[in-house]
Amino acid sequence: MGGDLDPRVLRGIGKGGKDVMSNFRQYNIMDKCGGLIINDNSKLTVWRDGELFDAIIGDPPYGVRAGAKKVGKRVKKNKEPKPIPEDCLEPHIPQCIPYAMEDVLVDLVQFAAKTLLVGGRLVYWLPTTVEYKESDVPLHPCLKLLSNSEQHLAGKFRRRLITMEKTCTFDDNIHNIDMREYNRQQYAPAHS
């Protein structure tokens, strides 16, 4: 199953008539594709509760070119939002606002903690620079960091392939945490 916030990305046609599904056709794995969905990863409540996936593989937007976006309303000073006319409601591409990279990653890790099967893997590219710190990788108590490999790009830019494994079932009473505070504690020096 694949997803993106922008429906144009999901149905887009690239060079030579290639689209997202051409990758599945090329490797003769069309039967493995669960489909494509328009999805805002900042809205985790659209998914049913429970463990759904064996693996989540992602390449989050880096913000270098287009920047990450999520559904939301832009705030205009001294202006009330205009209602959407009835005849324009379907289909509707919602307004988007910037989505900070830290928030993208925190939401991805939380999504994995909630929806991966125990033993499932989260694998994603983390955009970094030469100023990378271990604390740039968001952690969650349900996930164990297995691998963190750097790939050099142009100039000071790097990206890291992060692999995490889900080690326990998500319990709302225990694991529904403030990820920023949890990560501050996890990366705090052992002695001050």
Quote the pLDDT of residue 103. 83
Instruction: Return the closest-CA partner of residue 104 out of 134, 63, 165.
Output: 63
Quote the pLDDT of residue 91. 57
Amino acid at 188: A
Quote the pLDDT of residue 95. 62
Given a cut of 70, the residues of the chain with pLDDT beneath it are: 13-14, 44-46, 62-82, 84-98, 189-192
Cα distance between residue 43 and residue 21, in whole Å: 25
What the block records as the tokens of 22 is 């051409």
Burial class (CB in 10 A: 0-12, 13-18, 19+), 109: buried
- Helix or strand or coil: residue 137? coil
What the block records as the tokens of 160 is 């890291």
Strands (E), 7-59: 36-38, 53-58
pTM (2 decimals)? 0.75
Quote the pLDDT of residue 97. 65
Cα distance between residue 94 and residue 82, in whole Å: 13
> For residue 34, what are the contacts with CB-CB under 8 A and spacing of at least 6?
1
> For residue 187, what are the contacts with CB-CB under 8 A and spacing of at least 6?
134, 135
The CB density around residue 36, as the number of other CB atoms within 10 Å, is 17
Is the bond leading into 91 cis (omega within 30 degrees of zero)?
yes
Q: What is the pLDDT of residues 110-135, one digit of tens each?
A: 999 999 999 999 999 998 889 999 98
Quote the pLDDT of residue 65. 46
Cα distance between residue 154 and residue 166, in whole Å: 33
At residue 46's C-alpha, the angle toward residues 40 and 50, to 5°, is 120
Quote the pLDDT of residue 73. 54
Strands (E), the chain: 2-4, 36-38, 53-58, 69-71, 96-98, 116-129, 143-152, 157-166
Q: What is the pLDDT of residues 79-108, one digit of tens each?
A: 666 676 666 655 555 566 667 778 888 889
